[in-house]
Amino acid sequence: MSRKRTALLASLALVAGATGSALTLADVATAAVPCTVDYKVQNQWDTGFTTAVTITNHGAAKSSWSLGWTFAGNQKVTNGWNAQIGQSGADVTAKNESYNGSLATGGSISFGFNGTYTGTNALPTTFTLDGVTCNVDDGGGSEPTDPPTDPPTEPGERVDNPYSGAKVYVNPEWSAKAAAEPGGDRIANQPTGVWLDRIAAINGASGKMGLRDHLDAALEQKGSDEMVVQLVIYNLPGRDCAALASNGELKDDEIDRYKTEYIDPIAAILADEKYADLRIVTTVEIDSLPNLVTNTGSRETATPQCDTMLANGNYIKGVGYALNKLGDVPNVYNYVDAGHHGWIGWDSNFTPSAEMFKKAATAEGATVDDVHGFIANTANYSALKEENFKITDTVAGKSVRESNWVDWNQYTDELSFSQALREELVSIGFNSGIGMLIDTSRNGWGGADRPTGPGATTDVDTYVDGGRYDRRINPGNWCNQSGAGLGERPQASPEPGIDAYVWMKPPGESDGASKQIDNEEGKGFDRMCDPTYEGNARNGYNMSGALGDAPLSGHWFSAQFQELMKNAYPAL
């Protein structure tokens, strides 16, 4: 007889004796027992285990909760997720995080942890929720007679497309923020990228989950399915040399710190055999290599910082080192950031950028075999498809390329750009099997203002401006864009050469502060995030188009999240 059934029968006897009336098991489950705990050992090996815990509340709604239990052996909790877990001797207390304290009547909350043990990993027998004893539901959660197999030590070959046939990890921290927004539960279950944007993020900065926490949570979500985890590797020395909002902690000459304090610890964690069954996708160093092409030398868009990074070679060395070390882990799939069509789509930028990618992919011991693909439009707003005009169209004697919006670019949207860039990269020596990812998290441009057809043919600008989905003032505008919407939902293999549409930039996370904010994250104030800014050479001296009252990059921006939902295309 299971523990749960034994506890229910005992409660039934007590209640019936007290009242003189007969109660069903269902009555007792809700009336006499305030909570149920499902404690499941999901994975167990010689000295360690992973456990998932679910609390179901049968009593009054709670705004905070604390679950306690006592280990029967010498188990020690090493790390956990979705709860603040403390241990004193054999006694353990798990308390809610700031984002998951609400526990409705009939509602459930889940958290997990890793632990160590020697001898027998006996299960706890008693749990208390806020001091009150709960039922124990051990259906499938009791100590297994035959423990699960050890994590594999020799994982199989990489698959052609890691997203094919796989679930993708839902970051519980982002999901909780999304769900807390009015209407946010419509997208809170979508997978987004986990940004490792400073050294402290590896172990968890400012109370957030660290890399192991995310990987452990991914194992919990994985079950028996294939699972992709998306990481953004983003901490180069002299990071983001053409902007200030996302400057990083490492100075332009701190390449050794980048290698030993950032990449090496990440690689060591990813190589842990416990995570060998995860498909780990990395987006490698956004906004880096194209800057060495477009914002250096005699160009009007050049910056002294980008000239420095070109001269010292630390972007090339850093990306090469990351590709080499991360590529040594058999279940890691490296995708190098490739900018977007509104940045490197011009003839003068396109092939030189591809060649710069090749240079980085063969630096510091890396080879093209360490590159599984490339990602376009990361954290940007370029439309996936512009369906109301084509690059080959001619209106009133002028080609679309001559319009002010296209401005002689070779491409009008991210899909055509990504497919062409893939062909270019293969032609210069990258493997023919490379795939592209496109970040569609904020490029939907829906809502009431979305055009339903091309503009009038009176002149080429009217034709393009009247029909384009991308409603930015200029394609060089990149910070918290007004009017933007959620784009295509994440999906695998949507078009030839495209491995997946992804939401690598979590919707609702700011691109940068709209005014100076002192901080300890190394992030500066970039006027392109100021709605009053009148622009620079990189956006044709146009207004920035940014939303006001924005927080630091990476911080939650509720107003932007609401606007993205309102203008989503496809609509929510």
Residues catalogued as catalytic: 240, 287, 511
* C-alpha separations of 203 from 142, 148, 149, 207, 234 in Å: 31, 28, 27, 10, 15
| Spatial distance between the Cα atoms of 257 and 250, rounded to a whole number of angstroms | 8
340 assigned ligand-binding residue = yes
478 assigned ligand-binding residue = yes
With beta carbons less than 8 A apart as the criterion, state whether 428 and 354 touch. yes
For residues 340, 341, 343, 349, the Cα torsion angle rounded to the nearest 10 degrees is 110
Q: Which phi and psi (to 5°) does residue 78 adopt?
A: -100, -35
What the block records as the tokens of 159 is 């698959």
160 assigned ligand-binding residue = no
505 assigned ligand-binding residue = yes
Q: Which amino acid would we find at residue 343? A: W
| Spatial distance between the Cα atoms of 342 and 406, rounded to a whole number of angstroms | 8
DSSP conformation letters of 513-547: -SS----SS-----GGG-TT----GGGTT----BP
Q: Which amino acid would we find at residue 172? A: P
What the block records as the tokens of 531 is 């709605």
509 assigned ligand-binding residue = yes
DSSP conformation letters of 444-479: ---STT--SS---TTSHHHHHHHH-S---SSTT--S
3-state DSSP percent of the chain in helix, strand and coil, to 5: 30, 20, 50
45 assigned ligand-binding residue = no
Task: List the end-to-end C-alpha distance of the chain, in Å, as a whole number.
Answer: 47
Nearest alpha-carbon partner for 42 in 149, 156, 128, 137: 149
With beta carbons less than 8 A apart as the criterion, state whether 39 and 127 touch. yes
Count CA atoms within 13 Å of residue 185 on its CB side: 2
Which residue ranges are tagged as binding site for substrate? 195, 197, 340, 343, 380, 478, 505, 509
Which residue ranges are tagged as binding site? 195, 197, 340, 343, 380, 478, 505, 509
